[in-house]
Amino acid sequence: MSTIHVMGAEVFYVGRRPVPERQPPVVLIHGAGGSHQLWLYQVRDLPEARTYAPDLPGHGRSQGPGRDSIAAYGDWLIAFLDAVGAERAVLVGHSMGGGIALDVALRHPGRVAGLGLVATGARMRVAPALLEQLQEDPDAAARLIAEWSYGPEAAEEMVRQGRRQLQQTPPDVLYGDFVASDAFDVRDRLSQISAPACLLFGTQDRMTPAKYAPALRDALPHAILHLVEGAGHMILVEQPQAVTRALTALLDSIEQ
């Protein structure tokens, strides 16, 4: 566990630096209202990979304001890469984090060695009623989001922990995350991404349904799709071994 200053604010992250380590490092980006805790399995289990799992600004233990656009989070991520001395990295993003990874891959292709896109999309529309509820009753909105985020096989304690994390995120930060996600749309630019990509979707995902996954795969020039049976939107904690296996295959395919 470490801290570093990014854009004038202290950022908390967890990571692993094995010996020997493969290059480039892996940066694990959480989704709306999340934190580094969602990636602890992958930090531990990705073989020979130097990993960074930061709390985005305003989330978890990181200071500074949250952002209200994916591009602003993308700017922050580039600053984080600079701060940790990573010229190139494999960017792995869950949900909103996947949007951030796509944004950086489009605007800074030289910084991206590969993409892991977990339960995400090039367009992440949010229902207007949910945006309204996030403003008027953020606790109720957090309960609803948690209810929809997990597959039917998820343990009740896992759902409770997810709900608590959302409720602990400052309401303005949580709202900003969903505003940023709702405005994001790079569907017409995906063909510009040359980095190899690994896509992971749960078959029981109600937030980012797997029916949209083939279109995302087909729009990216170098993408492989993995469908995980029974998993919901929080596939990275519901079935972490499946996520780790797919990401390991991605790392093995990237030239060192």
Rounded Cα distance, 225 and 246, in Å: 9
Rounded Cα distance, 248 and 102, in Å: 20
For residue 65, what pLDDT is reported? 95
For residue 17, what pLDDT is reported? 86
Residues 13-46: tens digit of each pLDDT: 999 988 777 779 999 999 999 999 999 999 999 8
For residue 23, what pLDDT is reported? 78
For residue 20, what pLDDT is reported? 74
For residue 256, what pLDDT is reported? 54
Q: What is the mean pLDDT of residues 103-132?
A: 97
Residues 173-222: tens digit of each pLDDT: 999 999 999 999 999 999 999 999 999 999 999 999 999 999 999 999 99
Domains and CATH numbers, the chain: 2-253 (3.40.50.1820)
Give yes or no for residue 123 having a pLDDT over 80: yes
Q: Rounded to two decimals, what is the model's pTM?
A: 0.97
For residue 254, what pLDDT is reported? 87
**DSSP-assigned states of every residue in the chain:** -EEEEETTEEEEEEEE--SS-EEEEEEEE--TT--GGGGHHHHHHSTTEEEEEEPPTTSTT--S---SSHHHHHHHHHHHHHHHT-SSEEEEEETHHHHHHHHHHHH-GGGEEEEEEES--SB----HHHHHHHHH-HHHHHHHHHHHHS-TTS-HHHHHHHHHHHHHS-HHHHHHHHHHHHH-B-GGGGGG--S-EEEEEETT-SSS-GGGHHHHHHHSTTEEEEEETT--TTHHHHSHHHHHHHHHHHHHHS--
Contact 61, 1 (CB under 8 A): no
pLDDT tier at 255 (50, 70, 90 boundaries)? low
For residue 176, what pLDDT is reported? 97
